[in-house]
Amino acid sequence: MSQKASNYVPYAFRCFQGFTVSDIKEFQSSRQMEIVLEKVDDKVHICGRCSGELSHQGGRYRVKARHLRMFDWTVSVLFWREKRFCPNCKKFRSELIEWICPTSPHMTMELAFWINRLSEVTSVLQVSKLESLDKMTCYKVDKHILMRLLQGYQPPKVTEICVDEVYARGPKQLKQGETRDDLFLTVVVDIRTRRVIWVSKSRRKEGLDEFFRLIGEEACRQIKVVGTDQHEGYAASVSEYCPQAKVVWDRFHLVQKFNEALNEERKDELERIDPEGEMGDLINGKYRYIYLTKAKNRRKRDRRHIEEVMRLNGKMARLEMIKEHFHKMFDCNDKMEAQVMLCECYEWAWQANASHIVKWIWSIMEDERFWNYFEYKVTNGLAEGINRAIKGLKWQAFGYKDMLYFSLKILQKCGYLNHRYFLAPTN
């Protein structure tokens, strides 16, 4: 090919390593273009399986592969793919074509990257419709590119992380030998940037172990704070790999647990009183959320509801006070202040005969991981935005059965496994 500037051939026609363009066919009515390729004379033939050099030819077959669209034209490339003898494999093998997607031999890598790029912003189903491709093909291609990106992926340096579990699939999808823990994924978030930096399968200790082994000993030593829920598996992993790190129970999960205890109290009270009476209806399960909401977040109607209940029922009035006090405690600026408030909660719960709450407070009171909160203030394990993004992902894909793919998608949408990071890693 001439090197003269006047003979410039657009790159779109030159990106087929080992081949040159011999003909271009255009079909005006269907807006289709076919680029016919011919192999270069000095082409080196590589085995598609073992990457060794191939020797004599044994046959060839015609391949038509979809390429990137140009303007509004659908573009395909046509070429002969050769079968040659591989001395390593001792078999006839198809030659390797670098610019063809390995999982979908009827698509160029250029198009594969574009499919992957599109699927960063919308679902695979929508991408397949947009590009008139089969949905399964798009899914395979997207996964292939993500796997490739993963090979070059190194989690960023971190000092504060949050570890959380994400519910990924229903119990019906459990395979043999799996337990409930396998329904979840372990998600590691960098607290500073609020981005997901790793996802591993199951919520067992091994899930977090995997992350610590990946970043290596030196990086583990840099980790100062790990926010988790009250999951013992994660705590065990942290003490094994990052013994210097402080484990902090995050506020979101603590409030959740407190609410569970509070709800039990309401149920007990409902059982104790006459269910047919005036009170019975007011503290019924259908009003559950009213009791668990913070006072300042309640709607006007709910506020009137709670006032009426507090007037009629002494215990419910006390529970309301304990709940508000418990929430306020998280605003404390130091441990001492918080200790006083939690003790008050405990005392009031004791006086109100609220045994579920008494038991629960007792279970966290002596634990350093709870008090660490007031030093490091680790909030929601998964930041609101991330949680919503993950839920959106599941909804978009009508639930994921392929757990590896789901993990990759989380890293793509909420982390760094995407084109921005790989093409311009400094940004």
Which residues of this protein are in contact with Zn ion, per CB under 5 A?
A: 47, 49-50, 52, 86, 88-89
Residue with smaller CB distance to Zn ion, 86 or 309: 86
- DSSP per residue over 375-406, as a string? HH----SS-HHHHHHHHHHHHHTTS-S-HHHH
User: Which CB, 45 or 205, lies closer to Zn ion?
Assistant: 45
- Give the DSSP per-residue string, 150-186: HHT--PPP-SEEEEEEEE-S-GGGPPTT--GGGGEEE
Q: How far is the CB of 416 from Zn ion (least distance, A)?
A: 35
Nearer to Zn ion, 46 or 225 (CB): 46
Shortest gap between Cβ of 94 and Zn ion (angstroms)?
10
Shortest spacing between CB 51 and Zn ion, in angstroms: 7
Quick one: 78 or 89, whose CB is closer to Zn ion? Answer: 89
Spatial distance between the Cα atoms of 318 and 271, rounded to a whole number of angstroms: 18
Q: Where are the beta strands (DSSP E) in 4-126?
A: 19-27, 32-39, 57-66, 74-86, 91-94
> Of 14 and 49, which CB lies nearer to Zn ion in the complex structure?
49
Q: Smallest gap, in angstroms, from Cβ of residue 55 to Zn ion?
A: 11
Buried b (16+ CB within 10 A) or exposed e, 207-237: bbbbbbeebeeebbeebebbbbbbbebbbeb
Residue type, 266: R
Query: Which residues, including other chains, have CB under 8 Å from residue 65's CB and lie 6 or more apart?
Result: 76, 77, 79, 100, 105, 106, 107, 108
Cβ closest to Zn ion, residue 36 vs residue 89: 89
What is the nearest approach in angstroms of Zn ion to the Cβ of residue 93? Answer: 5
- Minimum distance of Zn ion from residue 102's CB (angstroms): 14
